[in-house]
Amino acid sequence: MTRRLLIVVQEALFFTTHRLPVGRAMRDRGWEVHVAGPADPAVAARLEAEGFRFHPIPLTRGGLNPLAELRLLAALFALQRRLRPDIVHLVSIKPVIWGGLAARLAGMPAVVHAITGLGFLFIRTGGRAALVRRLLLPLYRFALGHRNSTAIFQNPDDLGVFQAHRLVQSDGWVMIRGCGVDMQVFAEQAEPLADAGHPPVVMFPARLLGDKGISEFVGAARQLKAQDVAARFVLVGRHDPDNPTDIGPARLQEWLAEGCVEYWGYAEDMPAMLARAHVIVLPSYREGLPRGLIEAAAVGRAIVTTDAPGCREVVRHEENGLLVPVADTAATAAAIRRLVEDSELRRAQAARGRAIAETEFSVGRFVADSLAAYDRLLPAAERGP
């Protein structure tokens, strides 16, 4: 009998960028791979062409409308009862909570919970976020309490939070650092020429969110422009209206009109885009483990990021980049200036970053670790080769 894997994601595109190699590996094992996420015809067509089966679900990433969440829970319950997957793999907050509840109610035999970051509700303190967090913690606890399940964490800080809240059993977790990067696709590339006519490019490659530190990046650019530092400051990424910290088109236009930054839009070809930069900057408040930083290291770029969970898993201070305090615009500006003006340091850190990426963050390692997490939930007779 054909075995089935169901992967539930918060955004269909996220599967193609972060989980596609795992889906392919399970398909090659002879498994039937199903993917569930918000409707996205373009992604659905791509997945169907690869032999996967896509199932649209009524998941809205922003907000917690009770009726909408009940519809999502009902849809996930019905989907799991219909497919009867051997393993359900739930990725990110809403799939973990509602998919985990549905898996327990539907009697699924094995569940994997991927904790890809703590999200807005855990980053913010006080007010509505604190209230919703108190309401969600018991749901998290029940969802993760499946008798044959494991939770995948990307960094020890997130694991510590879940352990402190007693959300995960002592032996019910595994650490898989990031989602891996194909080192051939993200090949090491020499940085572009930088001279008087071609100033270094300092790039922010992420969604245009406050929690990604975009305001600190723009503030640092503003400071350095005022100090006559010769550099171009570039934003590369998309808006995310479902995220409450999205900056919105109006604010972006204000920054562009001010002239402190440029906007190069959303890039499909990130290896080529990263190759145009000299320094990569992500002043994020907190991450699971940012794939964008792994990609930057793989291409061979020095990095400025925050000494925050997830970010410090990729960047080692003074080794393959510089770490700065969270929400510290002045420190971010100083670190950028140091790398812009010291090409020898920049290139040395870039080379070390490539070596770290190859050793610790290859896609092959990620796939092997993911399949091992699946296998630990299966009887020995059902495990793949």
pLDDT value at residue 129: 67
Give Cβ neighbours of residue 74 (< 8 Å, ≥ 6 apart).
none
Cα gap 143→126, rounded to integer Å:
24
Tokens encoding 337: 């200036």
Tokens encoding 223: 């400071």
Note the CATH architecture for domain 4-180+363-382.
3-Layer(aba) Sandwich (3.40)
CA torsion sign, 322 to 119 to 178 to 18?
A: negative
Q: Give CA 135 to chain center in angstroms.
A: 25
Cα gap 304→163, rounded to integer Å:
30
Sequential pLDDT tens for the chain (385 residues):
789 999 999 999 999 999 999 999 999 999 999 999 999 999 999 999 999 999 999 998 777 788 999 999 999 999 999 999 999 999 998 999 999 999 999 999 999 999 998 766 666 666 666 777 777 888 889 999 999 999 999 999 999 989 988 888 878 899 999 999 999 999 999 999 877 678 999 999 999 999 999 999 999 999 999 999 999 999 999 999 988 899 999 999 999 999 999 999 999 999 999 999 999 999 999 999 999 999 999 999 999 999 999 999 999 999 999 999 999 999 999 999 999 999 999 999 999 999 999 999 999 999 999 999 999 999 754 655 4
Q: Give CA 97 to chain center in angstroms.
A: 18
Cα gap 81→300, rounded to integer Å:
46
3-class secondary structure per residue, 120-163:
HHHHCCCHHHHHHHHHHHHHHHHHCCCCCEEEEECCHHHHHHHH
pLDDT value at residue 244: 86
To the nearest 10°, the Cα dihedral for 240, 24, 35, 171? -90
Tell me which residue of 279, 268, 193, 200 sits closest to 237, measured CA to CA: 268
Tell me which residue of 88, 91, 144, 87 sits closest to 117, measured CA to CA: 91
Contact by Cβ (8 Å): 294, 280: no
Tell me which residue of 136, 142, 133 sits closest to 113, measured CA to CA: 142
205's enclosing H/E stretch is strand 201-205
pTM above 0.85, yes or no: yes
Note the CATH architecture for domain 201-360.
3-Layer(aba) Sandwich (3.40)
pLDDT value at residue 126: 64
Q: Where in the chain is the domain with CATH 3.40.50.2000?
A: 4-180+363-382, 201-360
For 257-302, give the DSSP string. HHTS-EE----S-HHHHHHT-SEEEE--S--S--HHHHHHHHHT-E
> Look-up: residue for tokens 């009902």?
74
For 10-63, give the DSSP string. SSHHHIIIIIHHHHHHHHHTT-EEEEEES--HHHHHHHHHTT-EEEE----SS-
